[in-house]
Structure formats: C-alpha cells, structure tokens
C-alpha cells in the first residue's frame, strides 16, 4: 500500500498540469459533497416545515377556556419576611415584581372578560385594525 502525501504549494511554485488537474478534481469532489449535504438539509427542512404546519393546524382546532378561580384570588399572595440571609437587593426586586403583577392583574381580568365577550368573533391568526 502506497501512501501519497500532498506537497505543500507556495505562491512562487510553478504548478504542473497534472497537479492543477488533481487540485481541480479535489475541488470538484468537495463541491459535490457540499451539494449532497445541502440537498439532504433541504429535505430535512421541508419535513420540519410540514410538521410545524401540521402542529399549527392542530393547535388551531383546540379550544382552551381559562377559568378564573375566585377562591385563589381571595387567598392573596404570601408575605415575604425580612431575613438577614436574603440579599436585600434581590428582595427589593422580588417585591417590585410582585407589586407590578398585582397592579397588572386587574387589567388582565378586564382583558379576559372582553375576550370572552367577543370570543366567537375572533379568528385565530387573523390580524386586523385596532
């Protein structure tokens, strides 16, 4: 078995016709390989797009109704006690986040009521003027 080692080419070297032919063949084989890989990738992408479209169609058929539980609302949120082991900056951030949630909760209830009111008039995926 004979091992053929490729000679390094430098810009000043003269390239023989045989060497040029070998280089071009090598480039051709590499390009063919890249084309094959690209074709395989394209087929996989087409399958993924089809599957994603099927998932979207299935999700459009689902009708989920979220029920608001008054009992959970009346329980309120747990209080956070001041603890020396908790970083005060993190505690302030958590308290701020909770207060932001509590402020927005009422507007979300109103939005939910409006959505229930116009539920039959809403078409999923359709964008209209506000």
For the segment 58-109, what is each residue's pLDDT rounded down to a tens digit?
887 777 666 666 666 666 666 655 555 566 777 778 888 888 877 777 777 7
- Asked whether the predicted pLDDT for residue 121 surpasses 60, the reply is yes
Question: In angstroms, what CA-CA distances link 86 with 31, 79, 80, 90, 98?
Answer: 60, 14, 11, 7, 17
Query: Residue 18 — very low, low, confident or very high, per pLDDT cuts 50/70/90?
Result: confident
Rounded to an integer, the average pLDDT of 18-45 is: 93
Q: Scanning the structure block, which residue is given the tokens 């020396």?
A: 84
Same domain, 108 and 78: yes
Q: Is residue 8 part of a domain?
A: no
Query: Residue 3 — very low, low, confident or very high, per pLDDT cuts 50/70/90?
Result: low
For 80, phi and psi rounded to 5 degrees? -105, 120
Number of structural domains found in the chain:
2
pLDDT over 90, % of the chain: 24
What the block records as the tokens of 68 is: 């608001």
What the block records as the tokens of 47 is: 């399958």
Same domain, 94 and 57: no
Same domain, 41 and 68: no
Same domain, 71 and 108: yes
The parent domain of residue 44 ranges over: 15-62
Same domain, 70 and 115: yes
């Amino acid at each position: 078995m004979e091992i053929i080692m490729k000679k390094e080419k430098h810009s000043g070297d003269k390239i023989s016709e045989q060497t040029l032919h070998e280089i071009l063949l090598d480039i051709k084989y590499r390009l063919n390989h890249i084309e094959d890989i690209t074709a395989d990738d394209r087929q996989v992408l087409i399958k993924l797009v089809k599957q994603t479209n099927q998932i979207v169609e299935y999700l459009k058929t689902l009708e989920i109704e979220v029920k608001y539980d008054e009992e959970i609302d009346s329980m309120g949120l747990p209080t956070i006690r001041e603890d020396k082991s908790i970083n005060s900056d993190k505690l302030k951030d958590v308290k701020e986040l909770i207060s932001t949630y509590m402020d927005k909760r009422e507007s979300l209830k109103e939005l939910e009521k409006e959505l229930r009111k116009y539920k039959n008039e809403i078409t999923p995926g359709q964008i209209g003027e506000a």
